[in-house]
Amino acid sequence: MAEMKPPRGSGSPRRTPPRAAHPLLPMLLAAPLFDAGSERRPLTPRERQKLANAATRLQLPAGHVIYREGDPAESVFINGGGVIVSYKELPSGQRRVAGFRFYADLFGLAEHGSYVNTTRAVTAVTVFRIPAATIVEILRHDAELHIQFLCKVVDGLREAQRKSIIVARRDAAGRVAMFIDLLRHLGDRKPLPSRIELPMTRADIGSYLNLTAESVSRACRRLSERGILAFDGEGARIVNRRRFEDLVAAL
């Protein structure tokens, strides 16, 4: 009765290759604060070069832990390609995924000198590491870049609030659909893709959505059965856009 469902099993770290627009220079993309209508303004080549001069470029394999919660925060990071997961380890040993960081995302902002989350590479990634003291000095002397930085942090705040909205739904299928829609809108792709990569595990997705991996699995199956999404090896394809968007908007 169940249609052919391509199981996903994979015994090891993921290996989706990162794809970066301009692999050698760090990039930030953030929505502007006050200028209505204006599109995301990317960093200028000069600004990127200024960051690059202060940054160390790292290539890390999937599974690599970039920093741990509580470590002294000596650097901030910019994702140069690939997917990174940010999470908290709870006393019970459980993980709570705070979010995923994609290309041009900023992460590693500290509180009182320590990192608040642990971050781990989901796929192979490129990251730019910038010493904290250096970035403060750069921002102090470059008001324009400072504002871009501020915009990016505000972006992070919006994402956290969007997450709250998603998690507030009670139906697991709706949460998964909204999660996929969230990923779909990342990076400002002009034609919204109909296929979305899901390199993270079901457990990671579930931890982000406040669901168990089992519930995520069941939700995916229901979405398949309803003809809304199709799940293949490491991604999902939107089968019926109408119903998908209706489900996402159904709040």
- What residues make contact with DNA under the rule CB under 7 A? 2, 5-12, 15, 170-173, 201-203, 206, 210-221, 231
The only residue of 23, 61, 113, 233 in contact with a copy of itself, by rule CB under 8 A = 113
Residue 186 binds a copy of itself, judged by CB under 8 A: no
Residue 70 binds a copy of itself, judged by CB under 8 A: no
Residue 54 or 110: the one with the smaller Cβ distance to a copy of itself is 110
What's the angle, vertex CA 34, arms to CA 185 and CA 81, rounded to 5? 35
Structure tokens at 53: 């001069």
Residue 41 or 64: the one with the smaller Cβ distance to DNA is 64
Strand partners, 89: 95
Residues 6+ apart with CB under 8 A from 241: 194
Residue 1 binds a copy of itself, judged by CB under 8 A: no
Question: What backbone torsions phi and psi does residue 141 show, to the nearest 5 degrees?
Answer: -105, -5
Alpha-carbon distance of 127 to 178, in angstroms, equals: 27
Identify the three-state secondary structure at position 229. strand
Structure tokens at 167: 């998690």
The only residue of 149, 179, 231, 244 in contact with a copy of itself, by rule CB under 8 A = 149
Q: State how far Cα 126 lies from the chain centre.
A: 14
Q: Which does 211 bind (CB under 5 to 8 A by kind): a copy of itself, DNA, none?
A: DNA
Identify the three-state secondary structure at position 82. coil
Pair type for strands 110-111 and 235-238: unpaired
Q: Which does 111 bind (CB under 5 to 8 A by kind): DNA, a copy of itself, none?
A: a copy of itself
Q: Which does 191 bind (CB under 5 to 8 A by kind): DNA, a copy of itself, none?
A: none
- Least separation in angstroms between CB 116 and DNA: 23
Residue closest to 32 by CA, chosen among 177, 175, 174, 152: 152
Q: Which does 143 bind (CB under 5 to 8 A by kind): a copy of itself, DNA, none?
A: a copy of itself
- Least separation in angstroms between CB 234 and DNA: 8
Residue 68 binds a copy of itself, judged by CB under 8 A: no
